[in-house]
Amino acid sequence: MRPSRHSRSAGRWSPESTSSTWALRTSSGEVNDVPSKRRCGHPVEDDALDLSISVLAHAGSFISQGCARNAQVTDTLEAGDLDLVAALQIAPRAGVRVLADVLGVSTGTVSRRMTRLRDQHGMRVVGQVPWWVAGDATPHHVWISTAPGRTDAVATAIAELDEAQFVATTTGRADVYCILHPARRAAAAALLTATLPSIPGVAHTHSELGLHRYQSGSSWRLDRLGEDRERRLMAHRHGAAPTGPGRLGADEAGIARVLQRDGRASAAEIAREAGMSASTAYRLTQSLLERGLVQPRIEIEPALLGHPLEAVVSLSTSAGTMQEIATALSTHPSARYVSTVAGTSSVIHHGLFRHEDDLSDFLARDLGRHPGVTRFEISIVLRVLMRYWTPRAVPAR
């Protein structure tokens, strides 16, 4: 599921005035255009429906401007902020009163910290949806080698594509690594063989087709709250992701779009933007979340959480071991994203690490426990421009 492009004025994106339209094919085959008003996040009344699945706004040159313009990855967050992030990772939709009660602080403290995390550190809550919700295509993992001195320009151009789900500059296997997700299977050929190679500075591309996702950003979390607090927060967590494909009706499609764009919306706001009654908006929203058709997840740069080292490990496996290895790696503490792929690799493991020693242990010990791993290549992430269609304005480390 990908957002539409938005307009920009005088070189600066206006989160309060930008409008967009997004189309989703419904169960009847009809394409519905859902108008939306993008916002950069806002406070939510305590009594409002606290749906936390925010801003999947696509970016253009917003990568270096806009909402996340002041986000700086410097030191790890202080303990209180880390606790709040950990709580939101478990229950991104939890209300301020719930978070305050679980964390043992005042509602004012929670509100101030959430505002600071959003405005100063670029924290967003986004809505993850299954691959099949928006079309029949699956993601393509692409590694790109660039001409000397063109890496940043190429990465920026790729991040402006509607299909760009994740974009980063890297070292190792290639200069740029990205995940591109076209809306339709038939669109992949032109994207990979014409659009990408025509970007100035692209020297070589290598792509692999995503097959099945075993782990995603909605499940990776900090381990710091303890069993009791985690248990209390789990009561406010969304439903598990569906195991098989399904369809969204027209009203559900409209609500999903609102939730992706503004996850802190109340039932009244959803109703107003989707054109339905508040009771219908509330009922359908709860249904989408309980069925796991929208998976709330926190987006904040891992370095702020004490994980400054990010690596994309491409593994080749022996016949018959691919699924077993992907399943095992999906439970590893470092796993932010794990997928099987069709290409020269069999499994992609996108991991977060506290230190180079941790990455070394993962490669030498943890992968060493799996005799089915025959080979691996590593791309070290330098700068992220896009995470799950959410622009990031983070300086290179």
- Tokens 């970007």: give the residue: 199
Beta carbons within 10 angstroms of residue 136's beta carbon: 13
pLDDT of residue 349: 99
More confident residue, 36 or 94: 94
Mean pLDDT within 210-221: 91
How far is Cα of residue 228 from the mean position of the Cα atoms in its chain?
A: 28
Which residues are 198's β-sheet partners? none
User: Helices 96-103 and 107-121: crossing angle, nearest 10°?
Assistant: 110
Sort 240 into a burial class: Cβ within 10 Å, 0-12 / 13-18 / 19+. exposed
1 falls in which pLDDT band (50, 70, 90)? low
Residue range 259-271: mean pLDDT, rounded: 79
Indicate the range of 61-70, 149-158, 318-327 predicted with least confidence.
61-70
Q: Count Cβ neighbours within 10 Å for each residue of 324-334 and write b for 16 or more, e otherwise.
A: ebbebbbeeeb
Q: Indicate the pTM of the whole model.
A: 0.78
Question: Residue 33 to residues 18, 171, 251, 257, 274: CA-CA distances in angstroms?
Answer: 16, 40, 11, 10, 11
User: How far apart, in Å, do the first and last CA atoms of the chain sit?
Assistant: 30
Confidence band, pLDDT 50/70/90 cuts, at residue 17: very low
Query: Taking the mean position of all CA atoms in its chain, how far away is CA 307?
Result: 17
DSSP codes joined into one string, 171-182: EES-SEEEEE--
Is the pLDDT score of 70 beyond 50?
no
* pLDDT higher at 71 or 77: 77
Element housing 209 (H / E): strand 202-215
Say whether pLDDT at 251 is over 60.
yes
Residue 57 has pLDDT above 70, yes or no: no
> Residue 316 corresponds to which tokens in the numbers above?
């080749």
pLDDT at 274 over 70: yes
Q: pLDDT for 218-241, tens place per residue?
A: 889 999 999 999 999 999 998 887
pLDDT computed for residue 258 by the predictor: 80
Helices 79-90, 96-103: crossing angle, 10 deg rounding: 120
For residue 69, pLDDT over 70 is answered with no
Can you tell me the distance from the alpha carbon of 396 to that of 151, in angstroms, rounded to the nearest whole number?
Answer: 12
pLDDT value, residue 140 = 98
pLDDT number for residue 2: 56
* Cβ 64 vs Cβ 271: under 8 Å: no
C-alpha span between 159 and 54 (Å, rounded): 19
Q: Average pLDDT in the 129-149 region?
A: 88
Q: What pLDDT does 147 receive?
A: 98
Q: How far, in Å, CA of 362 to CA of 328, rounded?
A: 13
- Whether residue 196 has pLDDT greater than 90: yes
What integer pLDDT is reported at residue 293 of this predicted model? 86
Q: Identify whether the C-beta of residue 293 lies closer than 8 Å to the C-beta of residue 246.
A: yes
Backbone angles phi, psi at 334, to 5 degrees: -80, -15
Model pLDDT for residues 290-343, shown as the tens digit of each residue: 988 888 888 899 999 999 999 999 999 998 999 999 999 999 999 999 999 999
Cβ–Cβ < 8 Å for 144, 200: no
For tokens 């394409």, name the residue: 31
Residue 32 has pLDDT above 50, yes or no: no
Rounded Cα gap, residues 119 and 40, in angstroms: 9
Q: Please tell me the predicted confidence (pLDDT) of residue 218.
A: 83
* pLDDT greater than 50 at residue 5: no
d(CA 182, CA 283): 30
Chain-centre distance of CA 266, in angstroms?
22
What is the spatial distance between Cα 53 and Cα 72, in angstroms, rounded to a whole number?
22
Asked whether residue 137 carries a pLDDT value surpassing 60, the answer given is yes
Per-residue pLDDT band for 363 (boundaries 50, 70, 90) equals: very high
How do residues 364-394 score in pLDDT, each as one tens digit?
A: 999 999 999 999 999 999 999 999 888 985 4
Q: Which pLDDT value is given to residue 171?
A: 97
Q: Which residue has the higher pLDDT, 332 or 273?
A: 332
Percentage of the residues of the chain whose pLDDT score is greater than 90: 61
208 Cα distance to chain centroid: 19
Tell me how far CA of residue 213 lies from CA of 85, 221, 241, 315, in angstroms. 24, 17, 11, 15
- Whether 54 has a pLDDT exceeding 90, the answer reads no
Which of the listed CATH numbers 3.30.70.3460, 3.90.1170.50, 3.20.20.20, 3.10.180.10 matches domain 136-216+302-391? 3.30.70.3460
Please give the structure tokens belonging to residue 171.
Answer: 């070292």
The per-residue pLDDT for range 42-52, each reduced to its tens digit, is 333 333 333 33
**Per-residue model confidence (pLDDT) at position 11:** 32
pLDDT of 183 strictly over 90: no
Numbered ranges of CATH 3.30.70.3460 in the chain: 136-216+302-391
